[in-house]
Amino acid sequence: MASSTLIDRRFIARGVERTGTARFAMWLAPWVLLLGVGLYAAYLCLYYGLNQTNMDNRFAFGLWIFLDLSIIALGAGAFFTGFLVYLIKMKELKAVLNSAVVLGFICYSGAMLVLAIDVGQPARAWFTFWHPNTHSMLTEVTFCISCYLVVLSLEYIPMLLKNRKLRQAPSFLAFEHQLHMLVPVLAAVGTLLSFFHQGSLGGLYGVLRGRPFAFREGFSIWPSTFFLFILSAIAVGPSFLALTTRLVEKVTGKALIPDSVYQRLGLISGLLLAFYVAAKSIDTLVWLNVTSPAVGFAPWEHYSYGQFGIWLMAAEIGLFGLVPAGLLLWPKTRASRGWLMTAAALACCGVLLNRFILTVQTLALPTLAFDEFMTYTPNWQEVATFGLVVAYGVILYSLSYRYLPLFPQEKELAGEVIEEGTHVSGR
Amino acid sequence: MKPTRRDVLALGGGAVASVFFTPIPWKLLDDASIWTQNWSWIPQPVKGPVEWKESACALCPASCGLRVKMAGGYAVGLSGKDGALCALGYGAHQMNWHPQRLTVVRHNGQPSTWAAAEAAFQKACAEGPVAIVDGRPGRGASQVYRQFAEKTPGALYAVIRTPEEEALRPVAAIAGVPVERLGYDLENTKLVLSLSAPLLEGWGGPQRVQRLWPAMQIIQAEAELSRTGTCAARRVQIKPGSEAMLAMALAHALLDEKLATGPRPAMSLAEAAALAGVELDEVKGLARTLAAQRPSVVISARPEPAVAALNVLLGAVGAEGGIVARNGAPAPAKSMDELPGTLRAALLDSTVPWDRRPAGAQEVFRFAAWRGGDEQGWMLPAPGFLEEATDNPATGARAEALLKPPAGVKTTVAFLGGELPAAQPVESAIVPLTCKLAAWPSAAPNGQDGRTAAWTAAWTPAVLAPLATKLHQESKLMPAGGGRRQA
Amino acid sequence: MKTQKPRRYGMVIDLDRCTGCGACMTACAAENNVAPGHAKATPRTGLTPMLVQRVSNGGAGADRREVFIPVTCMHCEHETPCVTVCPQQAVELDKATGIVNQMPQRCLGCRYCMTACAYHARYFNWWDPEWPVGMERTLNPGVAVRMRGVVEKCNFCHGRLHEAEDKAAAAGKAEIDPADYRPACVEACATQAIVFGDLNDPASDVRKASRHEDSFRLLARLGTEPKVYYRSKQEWVRGLAERGQQEVRRG
Amino acid sequence: MIRGLCFFLIGVAAIQVAGWVGLPKALYVTKAQPFEYRHKTHAEKSGSAECDGCHTLGADGVFAGLPKTESCAACHTEPQGKSAAEATLVSSYVKTEKETPWLVYARQPANVRFSHAIHTKRAKLACERCHGKHGESDTLRPYQENRISGYSRDIWGRSISRWKRVANEGMKMDDCEGCHKQQGFDTGCLSCHR
Amino acid sequence: MFPGVDGFHWTFAHVIFLAIFFAVGMTIVATTVLAIWRAHRDVKTRRVEQLRWHAEFEDLPPAERTCRHELAGRVEHRTCPHAFACGTCPEYSKYAALPTDAPEYAFGMDYPPNRLYHRGHSWVREDEDGLVTVGLDDLASRLVGKPDAVVLPEKGQWLEANGTGWRLRKNGCEMRVMAPIAGEVVETGSPAEGWYLKLRVPPEMRQWRHLLRGGEVPGWLMRELERLQLQLSPEGSAPSLADGGMLVDGLMDQMPKADWDNVMGGTFLQS
């Protein structure tokens, strides 16, 4: 069977070229394998308990919570693009909205998947809804992430029903049409929820009075990390979106969105990143000179242990904050596709580093006078579960790209030059 | 009309739509989370009303008073009667279920039977000298062992000396009194100078000194920082093994300052202080404190004639708060180490520490409640914690057995065919003791290396928690599935 | 306990008297049905609600000093970190007694409270509790055995508070006799280094001890109002109250 | 269209029956008590109808719960009457000195502390308030246990919807808390859990 | 989260928090229920057929949306923005007035002038007895040849314009032919008889401006043949069909290897 024959022709929309089913299966095979290994690791952790991981009483949060925070921050592209398209009427981003919603759905469902394994007693997860403690940031995170996952799936369903085979059922077609008409309401609700829980994820650490490294003063009940997390999430969302779309273009060899959309995403990301860097710098200065000394922790103390030196703070704000912001704001570098992608990648790494510092370094640093600095390395079960989420994401995105119309302008751009000089005949 | 796919869908739709109006989802959700609280594989405490009974702990000679919380016929909690128990005491009731519990007679590592053991013992008694070793003389069982020893020809009765008794041997020599009758009257002591003695780490019974310590002052002279050194009011750094030299230096200081009268040690003050590695004025200061805060006593970990002499100079021997003699002590008996070189067999009581055996015994009959260490000879299952009546040697009070021993367990008394005599309460009183120091004793070798290590209850962070056992403290044995011993 | 006025149970631990014998740790584990450490357990994954830490002043040879510090839950009162962060109210600062009480039945093991606690006084059940065959007969009936996947902590042996209340009720008294309620570690301390009682009661010796001038609290400046005080005549030990006062070596 | 609707309604009816009738039957498993016991005959024969005759509350507040075999053995060393139940008692429990493995209707889970001392002595509640007519029963009703949670059925109560419950039937946390709220007791988790 | 739940202490913060949560929850549920109800209504009122047609029209590549006036040559280039709904097209009259210069041949296929043609290759003819006959035009029937199976609507069923007319199956390829006009099915024919349906159309609905007639047909057919050439030519090779050649009958049987799913999608205007 030639690699280009499409067995699943009836599911793929007309006028769009997709690789042969065999070749597609070969692309999915390694990810399915990774998914299998991850599922086995998850089974071990659920069946035998969390002693399967390297976490301990000091490192109650480990690789998984870092993963949760990071993919939810990167998944912020979904609500922010929805917000821009439907509420700010930035129509040109419609080209990338569907992909953003799929990415958002993957990130949030992946985060919930990992949380289900990370929690000691998953069967009691509903207790947070039944006995909510409104003072806790984690309650707010639980409520909002579950609601927003519902909203995301409601935004994902219309795309699902646009599939050529499913569209033939009249009720599906009608439901897809009607839901599509109401999507702006969902986008508004999604934005409200997301602003709250992106903030609360930051608030998780800001309220820790017992951890001076993470504790921050703030505005009424919200610590400053609440606002910094929102800012960093919406700053990095568009970059991650541009990065992933570029990746998909490279893998499939097709032009999927016009260059103007890349420029627009880059500009938005650059502006917000600059604003974030400024806010972050002010917050760090206030923390080092006011908040931390007030509870008896000298500023240099937080950075004098193991490999967690001052370079970490410099990298987070400077290399991964200021540099990408500059690259994205300067029209010449934003115009060049290469620089735009490096800046986007740097911005994403900045958010990952920030989440890592707040999750792992907070726990590593001593608090009592006779505490010692401790380190932690994840074991294979934890890394395999991490791989499980990544594999789940890639597989879901590949399937969505193949069977659902993610990129409305793909047809017009078919045949356009995606690399300098190579004309694409459509593989 | 044949149901079509659409009908089945409609049926399913109806069911699913209205399932939330039935108790199914809600009751199952509620029960599912309750199920996670009652997993069948999580053990549950014994059901039944709780009652408190009194007994004594038989893990070591201290015989601390016990209040035992009983439920459903099992011991479910321990607490001290007149004071706290030691780190081992609070987990002792769990030791009966220790995976290494011995309930089957074993011979050289192979299971055997009581009959075979008795036959072997009869043969051994007939053929040659047999020694009965008693770990804790002065109990009802000890009398049975002594009668057996007298009755059978060629049988000897031997005891295990605790390191504290060993250390008092030089004082016994000077005072001319059997060492069993000597003891420390720490209840009235104000100042103790300890020469590397682990006073707060289990010396003289795990909690004895700790209970009295708040009322008295400890000065610790030692080479290496120990837990006692940490908590002591004052710590004197000395060279390793130079306890005797310090004692001689102190004796000189006392005599120079006219705080005491008596013969002088051969070695001069300056030389002794130098060997001990202590400044002269610190020695003088120590001497003055010793004299000022009487009643004071000097305790050394190992038998040191110099220390005994110093105590006599101080007037601590025979005085209140120092080293005193008491009546009603068990009759003197040979220590296990003084047994003749060749022995046909030795019967070791369950109170003999698991790693001690007479040197020359060809065949060993050891009573033990737990396996562990060398499996040479006969291992005879003995009753465990609170499973046999025990007497407190000091007061003669008898604590009845509270728990039923498992099948296949016999007491040593029963094995020897004796009967446990009725408890004779011993009203032990302090007897006046006068002692003069004729000449400073020659610096005899300070005896075999003191068994201080045995009594240093190595401090164990409680990752191991309640399974800290007497066995564990002395043996390298890991309870099956038990936690790691973390130095 | 509508009739009783609220009590604030607290502790004062005299560090000069602690010899590090570990009896409090064993008694705590036996009282609260803590299983023997799993074969793969380490001091970082063990269940030690009462943990005695060995700390030295960093010196060597003659001027090296050490102290044993029993660290347990401080039952913080002001903005109790673990109570405010628990998403499903599995932890509660009890109004009547001031005890911060953890409910393993409602805890879903998210471990957020463990990151919030500055004293690392919260421990996670990484393994299902396992006793050698038959040893479950020695479990203390007054305390429920926890299952894996939940966090647990010191709750001042409130099982004994229940026994004291039952005794008072049977005797017809409205309030418990303070001598009846002593946590396992307080009772297990041979040198009576731990004084326990109601901080609200001016006559109680825990109140007097907590007002002594050489008593201090760990990390008091964090503002969580811990209710466990420490005492020591040694200056360098009092220096351990706050971080960064001096270079300190552990172990 | 009508055809689809009626299938829909059949589905609805089926699930309602399954939920309200089927679930209670399937959820609980009935277990037999070790042997029959008549409170009424014992009350008449022993002359005292007081509960704390056998279910004693100690001076130190410890509630003895069900009497032990030795208190039965006081009269039943030899069978008094001809009933088969007494024969089982004597043969398999009194003679072998084993405790009778009663299935307790009002057994609370391991993590709940119910203090009989406080409720009977201080609050002066009558036993019937929670245990109903069990004291005068002349037969032991079947003991039903929840297959999933392992609780006795009396904890949730007889009716699956807990509607129109009699005072002494059903002792879930809501019931205890309801009563405490009425009496004005502010209960923290600490007071009832261990 | 509900009042009266065991051990639930209501505080002011709970009220705000849960109020927001329930508000968000209600919005989401309301949106979904509204969408479901509207979808249900659309299916009931058969509006779904228009929805389907509009969705399909959006997916057509620009080349297949050429306006009829461009076909007829009246205008240079124009793509239809209204899903071929010429009846309601505002600029219709403006363009209709322009002169046409379309050729008069039908590439050797049978396109009688008395019929009107729908872009989905079905034709309409008014009969004397007031009924309207509907059938498959010559190009489509040459492509399909003799269909394996035909699924016709029942008598008395109401068809929507651009809705589903009838279905054909050939060599495993499902084809849905769109109904050119709205009307009630009176009679059903068969491929042998050359027509498929006879519809009764109420007089006020006899307005078929959207159907192609006269001069527009050849232009339309030329484009259709060009598209067929492009789609039927094997991978990457130049179109091999000679210009002006007659379209042989039963092409699906002649060229089984071709991507008929794609071709038929284009022919019957489905994505």
Chains B and C touching, counted as 3 or more CB pairs less than 8 Å apart: yes
Residues A305 and A213 sit within 8 Å (Cβ to Cβ): no
* pLDDT tens profile B188-246: 889 999 998 888 877 877 777 888 888 889 999 988 888 888 888 888 988 888 888 89
> How far, in Å, are A254, A392, B369, D126, E16 from residue B372 at the CA level?
74, 53, 10, 56, 65
Report the percentage of chain B scoring pLDDT > 70: 90
Taking every pair of C-alpha atoms in chain E, what is the biggest distance, in angstroms? Answer: 87
Q: How far apart are CA B274 and CA B264, in angstroms?
A: 17
Instruction: List Cα–Cα distances, D16 to A37, A131, B23, D20, in angstroms.
Output: 42, 29, 9, 6
Exposed/middle/buried for B345, CB within 10 Å: 0-12, 13-18, 19+?
buried
In chain B, residues with a C-beta closer than 8 Å to the C-beta of C105 are 37
CB contact under 8 A, B13 and D111: no
Quick one: which of C141, A69, C105, C42 has its CA closest to B45?
C141
Interchain CB contact of C248 with D (< 8 Å): no
B471: pLDDT confidence band, cut at 50, 70 and 90? very low
Phi and psi torsions of D129, nearest 5°:
-55, -40
- Nearest CB to A167; choose among E32, E39, E55: E55
- What is the structure's pLDDT at B482? 29
Within 8 A of E59 by CB-CB distance, chain A residues are 13-15
Best of D12, D160, D162 to mutate (most B CBs within 10 Å, chain B) = D12
User: Which tokens go with A65?
Assistant: 């919570």
Which of E6, E11, E32, E167 to mutate: most A Cβ within 10 Å? Answer: E32
Bridge partners of E175, per DSSP, are E168
Q: What is the number of helices (H) and of strands (E) in chain C?
A: 7, 11
The alpha carbon of residue B196 and the mean position of all alpha carbons in its chain are separated, in whole angstroms, by 19
Tell me if C221 sits within 8 A of C242, measured CB to CB.
yes
Residue range A79-100: average pLDDT?
A: 93
- Among candidates B74, B76, B463 on the partner chain, residue whose Cβ is nearest the Cβ of C48: B463
**Are C117 and A210 a contacting pair at CB < 8 A?**
yes
Sequence-ordered list of residues with C-beta below 8 angstroms from that of B25, at least 6 positions apart, any chain: B19
Neighbours of E182 (CB within 10 A): 17
User: Residue A216 in contact with residue A199, Cβ under 8 Å?
Assistant: no
Dist. CA B36–CA B34, nearest whole Å: 5
- Site of tokens 């932890």: C91
Rounded to a whole number of angstroms, the distance between the first and last alpha carbons of chain D is 58
Contact indicator for A199, A143 with CB cutoff of 8 Å: no
Q: Is E156 on the interface with A (CB under 8 A)?
A: no
Report phi then psi at B87, rounded to 5: -60, -30
Averaged pLDDT of chain D: 87
Query: DSSP per residue over E20-54, as a string?
Result: HHHHHHHHHHHHHHHHHHHHHHHHHTTTHHHHHHH
Q: How far apart are CA A81 and CA A90, in angstroms?
A: 9
The residues with which B68 forms a beta bridge, in sequence order, are: B53, B78
More confident call, D139 vs A105:
A105
pLDDT of residue B446: 42
Q: How far apart are CA A307 and CA A258, in angstroms?
A: 43
pLDDT per residue as tens digits for the range B272-331 = 888 888 999 999 999 999 999 888 999 988 888 889 989 988 888 888 888 888 876 777
**Is residue C106 within 8 Å of C90, Cβ to Cβ?**
yes
Residue B290: count of CB within 10 angstroms of its CB: 25
The pLDDT-based confidence of B479 (bands split at 50, 70, 90) is very low
CB contact burial A279-300 (16+ within 10 A = b; e otherwise)? ebeebbeebbeebbeebbbeee
The pLDDT-based confidence of A15 (bands split at 50, 70, 90) is confident
Q: Diameter of chain A by CA atoms?
A: 72
Q: Is A381 exposed, middle or buried (0-12, 13-18, 19+ CB in 10 A)?
A: buried
Q: What average pLDDT does chain C have?
A: 89
pLDDT tens sequence for chain E (271 residues): 676 665 566 788 888 888 999 999 999 999 999 999 998 898 888 788 888 888 888 878 777 888 888 887 788 888 888 888 887 888 877 877 777 776 667 677 778 888 888 888 888 888 888 888 888 888 888 888 888 888 888 888 888 888 888 888 888 788 888 888 888 888 888 878 888 888 888 888 887 888 888 778 888 888 888 888 777 776 545 544 545 556 677 777 777 777 777 788 778 887 6
pLDDT at position C123 over 80: yes
Domain A28-413 is found in CATH 3.40.50.12160: no
Residue E36 has its nearest CB partner, among A9, A140, A175, at A175
User: What pLDDT is recorded for position B443?
Assistant: 59
* Residue of A34 and B56 predicted with greater confidence: A34
- Omega before B295 cis (within 30°)? yes
pLDDT reported for residue E7? 59
Please enumerate in sequence order all residues whose Cβ is within 8 A of that of D145, keeping only pairs 6 or more positions apart, or say none: D28, D29, D31, D103, D151, D152, D153
In the chain, the amino acid numbered A12 is I
- When mean pLDDT is compared over A232-246, A366-380, B48-62, the highest value belongs to A232-246
Confidence class for position A417, pLDDT limits 50, 70, 90: low
**Per-domain residue ranges of chain C:** 9-244
Query: Rounded mean pLDDT of B391-420?
Result: 86
Are E217 and E114 in contact by the 8 Å Cβ rule? The answer is no
pLDDT band at B357 (very low <50, low <70, confident <90, very high): confident
- The whole-angstrom separation of Cα D55 and Cα D39 is 12
Distance from CA of B449 to the nearest CA of D (A): 51
What is the Cα–Cα distance from A346 to A349, expressed in whole angstroms? 5
Residues B329 and B114: beta-carbon distance below 8 Å:
no
Task: Verify A-D touch: 3 or more CB pairs within 8 A.
Answer: no
Could you read off the pLDDT of A212-249 as tens digits, one per residue? 999 999 888 899 999 999 999 999 999 999 999 999 99
Residues B165/B299, Cβ–Cβ less than 8 Å: no
Type of residue at C158: H
Show the CA angle centred on residue A402, arms to residues A397 and A403, nearest 5°. 105
Tell the burial category of B436 from Cβ atoms under 10 Å away from its Cβ (0-12, 13-18, 19+).
exposed
pLDDT confidence tier of residue A301, bands split at 50, 70 and 90 = confident
What's E202-259 look like in SS3? CHHHCCCCCCECCCHHHHHHHHHHHHHHHHHCCCCCCCCCCCCCCCCCCHHHHCCCCC
CA dist C66 and C55 (Å) reads 6
Cβ distance D188 to C104 less than 8 Å, yes or no, reads no
β-strand B430-431 against C151-153: which pairing, if any?
A: unpaired
Asked if the model's pLDDT at residue B484 lies above 70, the reply is no
Residue B3: per-residue pLDDT: 77
Cβ distance of E7 and D173 shorter than 8 Å: yes
Q: Which of B476, B468, B160 is nearest to B330 (CA)?
A: B160
pLDDT of residue E6: 57
Tokens of D81: 């009457």
CB contact under 8 A, A126 and B35: no
Residues A335 and A326: their CA atoms lie apart, in Å, by 13
Comparison of pLDDT for B140 and A108, the residue scoring more: A108
How confident is the model at residue B453, as a pLDDT?
33
Most trustworthy range by pLDDT among B341-345, B456-460, C150-154, D177-181? C150-154
Structure tokens at C221: 């400046």
Closest chain C residue to B487, measured at CA: C251
Compute the distance between CA of residue A110 and CA of residue A101 in angstroms, rounded to an integer: 14
The CA distance from C161 to A256, in Å, is 69
Which amino acid makes up residue C124? Answer: F
> Residue E67 and residue E209: Cα distance in Å, rounded?
13
Instruction: Say if A and E touch: at least 3 Cβ pairs within 8 Å.
Output: yes
**Among residues A369, A363, A357, which one has the least CA distance to residue A309?**
A357
pLDDT of residue E235: 56
d(CA B234, CA B214): 14
* C-alpha triplet E132, E60, E112: angle, nearest 5°: 30
Residue E195 token pair: 């027509």
A132 and chain E in contact, CB less than 8 A? yes
| pLDDT confidence of residue B227 | 82
Determine the 3-state secondary structure of C219 from DSSP. Answer: coil
- Segment D161-181 shows an average pLDDT of 82
pLDDT (tens digit per residue) in A108-161? 999 999 999 999 999 999 999 988 988 899 999 999 999 999 999 999 999 999
Directed axis angle between helix A63-74 and helix A170-206, to 10°? 120
Structure tokens at A264: 């627009």
What digits encode the pLDDT tens for the residues D32-54? 999 888 888 888 888 777 888 88
Q: What does the domain layout of chain A look like in residue ranges?
A: 28-413
Per CATH, domain B163-329+440-467 is 3.40.50.2000: no
Confidence at A357, pLDDT banded by 50, 70, 90: very high
CA B385, CA B59: separation in Å to the nearest integer? 8
Residue B477 pLDDT exceeds 50: no
Contacting residues of A for E11, CB less than 8 Å apart = 134
**What is the third-level CATH fold of C9-244?**
Alpha-Beta Plaits (3.30.70)
**Exposed, middle or buried by CB within 10 Å (0-12, 13-18, 19+), for E34?**
middle
**What is the Cα–Cα distance from A361 to A283, expressed in whole angstroms?**
18
